[in-house]
Structure 1
């Protein structure tokens, strides 16, 4: 399929087959696609923690859930969690970010997250980027130093959801040429 068709069928899945594990080879290919993601000044300011141990995965999923808000209970169904941890940028990215007042590490983490979910889709897997979680609990569960930020938890598994039509703004609402409108 062409790329536009490919991205139109990729979605944030919130229902997974909990009894179907993800093959290691597929996870390895997803991680390789993430490793190859571009970053400002080639800083690669990320570390990925793959959680596929069922007991630990359930505890990580519990750290994403908010009972009072009814959020993220689907994360327990996903057999794999890939957590993105921010690492230090290199000198040139750090200086450039300071000069331009931009957080290049956060941009880079967004790019690597996109690579993960697109690679998962290419492997026939569903995924969802989760940003709502108990960060101190995640650090504790996964032995991540307190000095590190855990930015995202990407859940991956075999989706049980049908492809939904995308609800997006029109081109006219989000695109202009040659000047901001």
Structure 2
């Protein structure tokens, strides 16, 4: 899937129009983007999700998840909540996933990929087969793989003209509400809807300097930032004006009035 635009942080939306439903086809696009994202050993079954729709999902389920999100106002406003999860049982299909890749030529014999290599090498190596190794490492790796799908889902939401933000809450409370088995763990929750705030959401959030995050040749040696690239990305809208926008406080005050939120609530959020 190829997205039509490159985005930075400009649609981390926290104020949604709760009265405007999201089209089913747009939710499918979001899910398709996550489904098609690559995964180690083709273990794409790691990424699973439950879609909750305001007014359609039973109130005890939808409200229960909102409560598990500590009743954050953005959860109270979102018309759709996608509960992304990690299904650790998917690793049991590792051999099948690798063989699928060999059969379609994604893994090939020129690079040494054979059924024998899978059975006698990969499946017996803890660094590849997380079921053999440390469970903590397996969960960490699984979370990264699920995160790749969620990232694509967020971009797809923006590409469909929607606002989206990720949220965390009481995972232990979520599992029984959704009927999840023990081998499934709720990960991030993606709130989706049409923005009630400006899509710039007040401007680019603070970020660490480029040179403090990325290194060249060895750890700690800053990778130089090319200002020509910065200029191009700014022109294309990926890098936007740093927050706060001069009108942001007025916008928040207007949103608070629209949704009957007190100043105290706004400070908490």
Cα 1:147/1:8, change in 2 over 3 Å: closer
Structure with the greater alpha carbon radius of gyration: 2
Identify the match of residue 170 of structure 1 among 198, 204, 209.
Answer: 209
2 CA distance for matches of 1:172 and 1:127?
29
Deviation digits for residues 4-46 of structure 1 (CA, Å, limit 9, x no counterpart): x731254321110010000001001111111101111111112
Show the counterpart of 1:31: 31
- 1:81 partnered with 2:60: no
2 CA distance for matches of 1:10 and 1:29?
20
- 1:59 partnered with 2:59: no
Deviation digits for residues 124-175 of structure 1 (CA, Å, limit 9, x no counterpart): 11111112x1223211221112332111111100112221322211211111
* Structure-1-length-normalised TM-score: 0.84
2:7 aligns to what SS in structure 1? helix
2 CA distance for matches of 1:39 and 1:105?
9
Show the counterpart of 1:123: 160
Q: How does 1:77-116 map to 2 (within 5 A)?
A: 77-88=77-88, 89=91, 90-91=93-94, 95=126, 96=128, 97=130, 98=133, 101=137, 103-116=140-153
- 1:46 partnered with 2:47: yes
Say whether the 8 Å CA contact 1:16–1:160 is kept in structure 2: yes
Moved over 6 A (4+): none
Segments of 5+ residues of structure 2 without an aligned counterpart are 95-121, 221-269
Say whether the 8 Å CA contact 2:35–2:47 is kept in structure 1: no
2:75 aligns to what SS in structure 1? helix
Show the counterpart of 1:69: none
Name which structure has the greater RCO, CA cutoff 8 Å, separation 6+.
1
Q: Report the alpha carbon displacement of residue 53 of structure 1 after superposing the two structures with TM.
A: 4.3
Show the counterpart of 1:143: 179
Segments of 5+ residues of structure 1 without an aligned counterpart are 67-71
1 CA distance for matches of 2:50 and 2:152?
15
2 CA distance for matches of 1:64 and 1:47?
19
CA RMSD of aligned residues (A): 2.2
2:6 aligns to what SS in structure 1? helix
- 1:160 partnered with 2:196: yes
2:188 aligns to what SS in structure 1? strand
* Structure-2-length-normalised TM-score: 0.58
Cα 1:104/1:9, change in 2 over 3 Å: closer
